[in-house]
A and B are shown apart, each in its own frame.
Chain A
Amino acid sequence: MGKRVTVIFILFFLLFGFIVVKLFILQVVSFEGLSGLAEKQRMASLPIIASRGKILASDGSPLVLNKKTYGIFLEPKSIKDKDIVLNILAKELDISISTISSKLNNDSLLWLPVIHQMEEKKKEIIASYKLDGVGFMDETKRYYPEASMAAQLLGFVGKGVSGEDQGYFGVEGYYDQQLRGRDGRLIQELDPVGNPILTAERQNIPAENGRDLKLYLDKTIQFIAERQLRKGIEIYGAKGGTVTILDPKTGGILAMASLPSYNPDGFYNYQQELYKNPIVSSSYEPGSTFKVLIMGAALNEGKIKSDTIIDEAGPVEIGGYTINTWNQKYHGRISATEVLNYSSNVGMVNIEKNLDQNILLSYIGNYGFGNLTGIDLQEETSPDIRERNKWYEIDYATVSFGQGIAVTPIQMVRAVSAVANKGKMMEPHIVKEIKLADGSNILIKPKVMKQVFKPEVASVLTEMMVSAVDNGETKVIKPTGFRIAGKTGTAQIPIAGHYDSQKTITSFVGFAPVENPAFVMLVTLREPTSSPWGSETAAPIFFAIAKELFSYMGISPSG
């Protein structure tokens, strides 16, 4: 009897010992691994998607918003009737059945995306079918209430290398990091039905939404500029054109229109060449508009005054080349002001001769040519200016009337804005304010790049530009009652080492009202066919826009 009890006791002891050892292994030795597995089973980690920042016009109205969209996914193993699902999706989404069915045949797939960025109405229609194995995921898409307005200035949002939203070109590209924000994460314990357990472990890392950007851009001015440019391109038979309008006091861009353009909602349907903003990324020879800047340099250096007499007796020979006036007319002895009125190449060459060549080159540098302007757009480029030792006498002569030098429209309008702003050249800017998530704003302060002229020189040069408008080729088309400072430009297009005799880029640059300039504007037209001259193509577009701006801005005629 005693023996049996002992045996049973030993057996129980061994069994108990086995259980203790097993518990020790599970709870001590394998603790980390098993507790990690358990946590994985009961804890859920959900991403909190940050919304991309909005882009607002100067009045706070939206130019770019986020719109809620949906993606559809399939869980092949949960689909009861594949044919019904395929037919309904094909019908509602207008895609071929074979596109989806080929992927469904892969049994190893647990999850299969079908379509992205679908509108809410379509989602509700498909959801109403209550199809097994069909699910929806929240997505967002950029929404442009103004359609293609300022498309090249705004840029667009595509996908990055990891499939995340990424801004390309324009403001979306330049400010991508500011607009993007930072996703958050919610880690919480869920019950078997999927509801959170409030008393259990919970970790909330909030998302930081992208910052909103407020631009200097005025929607009305942009609308006026685009409408008039579109009309002008059609009337003058041009291949394209640009309008740049900026506030000379702040450098803020009030409008930036270029055609042809694209619709950022569906950018993939357009040629990639259209994505780049030509105002900051393409160059042209400025032609006679550049005369204003050379004139300014000569005035600032004290080499001439507005009434200094300049010889315009006939063509000028330089380095084996003959320089004529644009219309083969010569007026003998004329004032510097009349050189601009007549847009005389010969007059400008004679003015340029008064300027030391090094000083001329330094002014070209002071005006910012050959360097980026610093504008906050992603794709800005700058054509190079030749090195000093590659300039010949003929080059100094031709640059005085804006040929043999390449500039971008933004460089040109910024340089002329110094005339409108008492000689101070401002850094051009698209964005005025960055709005933070906490409601505070970061103001981007206007920045003076350089004092290019003395203020009194800027005043004299302004009057000369007013005279060029009132007495030059545009005198019959300028709006009456308003004093506008401006200059026409017509430049031949260089092709394969020579200038094309037929094709031109026409332009007009100016500002108004001269007493207190509210805007500086540059209009360029590429290869107009109705006339090769700036006075007959770009100038009328400038004046048409200016007339509407006077009315919109409440600017009274000044006589």
Chain B
Amino acid sequence: MGEKKSKINYLILIFIVILVVLQVFIVNKHSTMGDQLTLVNNKIMKIEGENNQISEQIASLSAMTTITEKAKQIGLVSSSQVISLARSLPLAANLKLSL
């Protein structure tokens, strides 16, 4: 009985030592992973910067003056003649009908 108890204590001690060693190992590893976080942050900033640049380019290319110039270059002209197939009644006529 005493021997069994002693073996259990011995195993618990080994288990504790393993945990302590593991903790030291993991903490040590994580403590030095800061450079990877820095790399990831730099990558994020770079991609955000590229996104902003693309947004600017899209905004610039879709600006009214840009589109107007492009339309002129390809020969588009503004329509001066309007042909309508639908006609609505004058306001006074609408009033008469509602009375």
Asked if residues A147 and B31 are in contact (CB atoms below 8 Å), the reply is no
| Shortest Cβ distance from residue A230 to the other chain B in the assembled complex, whole angstroms | 13
Interface residues of A in 176-208 (CB under 8 A from B): 190-191, 193-200
Binds A, one of B1-9, B13-21, B69-77, B91-99: B91-99
Q: Is A43 an interface residue (CB 8 A)?
A: no
Tell me how many residues of A have a C-beta within 8 Å of chain B: 41
Question: In the complex, what residue of chain B is closest to A200 when comparing beta carbons?
Answer: B31
- Name the A residues within 8 Å of B35 (CB-CB): 193, 195
Q: Is A339 an interface residue (CB 8 A)?
A: no
Q: Is A143 an interface residue (CB 8 A)?
A: yes
Contact of B63 among A145, A194, A197, A557 (CB under 8 A): A145
Known contacts A65-B55, A193-B35; A559/B60 CB under 8 A: no
- How many A-B contacts if CB must be within 8 Å? 93
Asked if residues A219 and B31 are in contact (CB atoms below 8 Å), the reply is no
Asked if residues A198 and B37 are in contact (CB atoms below 8 Å), the reply is yes
The CB with the most chain A CB atoms within 10 A, among B33, B59, B78, is that of: B59
Known contacts A481-B82, A551-B82, A557-B84; A143/B56 CB under 8 A: yes
Known contacts A61-B62, A66-B52, A147-B65; A515/B34 CB under 8 A: no
Tell me how many residues of B have a C-beta within 8 Å of chain A: 35
Q: Is A149 an interface residue (CB 8 A)?
A: yes
- Name the B residues within 8 Å of A149 (CB-CB): 64
| Shortest Cβ distance from residue A136 to the other chain B in the assembled complex, whole angstroms | 13
Asked if residues B64 and A463 are in contact (CB atoms below 8 Å), the reply is no
Question: In the complex, what residue of chain A is closest to B86 when comparing beta carbons?
Answer: A556
| Shortest Cβ distance from residue B75 to the other chain A in the assembled complex, whole angstroms | 19
Question: In the complex, what residue of chain B is closest to A479 when comparing beta carbons?
Answer: B82
Question: In the complex, what residue of chain B is closest to A65 when comparing beta carbons?
Answer: B59
Interface residues of A in 48-102 (CB under 8 A from B): 61-62, 65-68
Known contacts A143-B56, A557-B84, A558-B87; A219/B64 CB under 8 A: yes
Asked if residues A551 and B79 are in contact (CB atoms below 8 Å), the reply is yes
Question: In the complex, what residue of chain B is closest to A460 when comparing beta carbons?
Answer: B95
3 nearest A-B pairs in the assembled complex, by CB-CB distance: A195-B34, A145-B59, A556-B84
